[in-house]
Amino acid sequence: MSEFYKTRRDLLKALSLAAIVMPYSRWACAQRKFDKNPFLLGVASGSPTDQSIVLWTRLIDERLLASNLSNEPIEVRWELARDPKFSQTIQSGISLAIPALAYSVHVEVSQLPANQWFYYRFLVGGQVSAVGRTRTLPLPNQELDHLRLAYASCQHYEHGYFSAYQHMLGEKVDLVMFLGDYIYEYGPGRKGVRTHDSGPIISLDDYRKRYVLYKKDENLQAMHAACPWLMTWDDHEVQNDYAGLTPGTFGPYVSDFPKRRAAAYQAYYEHMPLKSSVLIDGLNGLMKGAEMRIYGDFQFGKLANICMLDDRQYRDPGACTPSGSGSAIFDPKGCPELNREDRSILGGDQERWLAGKLRGADKNIWNVIGQPTLYAQRYFPSGDQLLIWNDGWDGFPAARKRMDQLFIENKVKNLVIFGGDVHENWVGYIKADYDKFDSPILGVEFCGTSINSIGNGGKYLDARLAKNRHFIFAEATKKGYGIADFTPKDLTVTLRVLSDAQEETTSIETLAKFVVRSHSNNIQRLS
């Protein structure tokens, strides 16, 4: 029997008791002293609403890692206050950290006032965690002057440092939008500036250890502690270029891919500030391919609605990929399968959910979509041919047309799509027909670079821009993040890039800055 099913009863119990608001403990749990700080992975918050927030941490020390010495849960106290010294505590309680969930803690704090900042911490066995800062969202009908968010993706431990977060910390953002590839599943590489000693990750324990490696990074911890994160994933949280229940490429062959995916999904939940319902709804069938739903929307008053999409879990396999799995670059004219109407990147349920959200888009000044990859069409010129890469939206043209039709039918105004995955900055327009230059503009797109990665597509950039005229800017070498400032009158996006992501201490600069006036669908470059 698998570890997943052996512990299902414990999982259900722990998830049902995820957040207990009580002044003292009534649980017969292990009361264990810790000689060293068990909060080595820091703290985090996420899944915000106008009255609730999820607080996260994970207990970790050598004994817990080595042996799971007890099957008993450990009581962890949590506190939420108005000030960082906790002189004005407004809620506190006990949550259970259990071995079946790697001693992770997910506290769902509710009945909070809207649009306010708070401080939180965890306590166990005489040890106290770092202090985190978090917030609730404004009320849906609240008029607001400003929303400031950062967007980022693709952080590869071996390929560089997470120094981008040191600089992001100084940006004083309300939210971080993370767009996928939080970890990379590969074995040790040869080109990195730092390394690890584990091979390609496959089992639940493998994925847990990889998250530990990443989350020990002090800059990443600090940014998680600064504000709530809105999360989605891409492929590397499981396997490069996987699609739904179809395996990807690289690493050893695994006969039971749904089992591997289930392990990866559980580890993701254990290390992210997600509601317990994200995991519990799939427990009965996760090993057989049931979903772990992470898509959702976040209403920031009247100013903006942010829909976070999952384009990896539900997608059909890539069309015309020679091996049958993974991705490929090819001439779309030679692939009739590519244009099949039933092919989907979001899956039917998510498409219908998004359609429902867009029907109310007229209530928002800005309509924002965060998703893992580049949305607009992008050709790769090769001689006389124009090639496409089928692992993104270009591999699902019918699905993209359905999305575009939703934008048109619902008269979605001030549409902004953020993406990642491609490790390059791309700025441009979402169009009804990309092969017609005068086609109507439906919205704007800002696809970000990676936090760090090795690779340089700069020498091909001019040729790609020339064949994709709906993009107005691209840069293929610099790494970093983006800052988006929303007001009722305009959106300003600043591309922030590091001098060298492979240096532990490095400077940051503004690569380019753009403004989109409300109701204009026009991108102006400011610098």
Closest CA to 444 of 367, 348, 527, 346: 367
Task: Kindly indicate the confidence band of residue 191, based on its pLDDT and cuts at 50, 70 and 90.
Answer: confident
Instruction: Compute the distance between CA of residue 477 and CA of residue 466 in angstroms, rounded to an integer.
Output: 18
Instruction: Compute the distance between CA of residue 376 and CA of residue 254 in angstroms, rounded to an integer.
Output: 33
pTM: 0.95
List alpha helices for 286-347, DSSP H.
none
Residue 499: count other Cβ atoms within 10 Å of its Cβ. Answer: 14
pLDDT tens string 73-92: 899 999 999 999 999 999 99
What does the pLDDT average to over 57-63? 84
Task: Kindly indicate the confidence band of residue 69, based on its pLDDT and cuts at 50, 70 and 90.
Answer: very low
Residue 61: predicted pLDDT: 78
Among the ranges given (25-29, 38-42, 48-52, 324-328), the one the predictor scored with the smallest mean pLDDT: 25-29
25 has a pLDDT exceeding 50? no
* Residues paired with residue 243 on neighbouring β-strands, in sequence order: 246
What does the pLDDT average to over 151-160? 96
89-97 and 380-382 strand pairing: unpaired
What does the pLDDT average to over 418-437? 96
3-state secondary structure of 268: helix
3-state secondary structure of 265: helix
Residue 412: predicted pLDDT: 97
Q: Are 151 and 418 in contact (CB under 8 A)?
A: yes
Instruction: Compute the distance between CA of residue 58 and CA of residue 56 in angstroms, rounded to an integer.
Output: 7
Domains of the chain and any CATH numbers? 1-136 (2.60.40.380), 149-313+340-380+392-525 (3.60.21.70)
Task: Kindly indicate the confidence band of residue 1, based on its pLDDT and cuts at 50, 70 and 90.
Answer: very low
What does the pLDDT average to over 195-204? 89
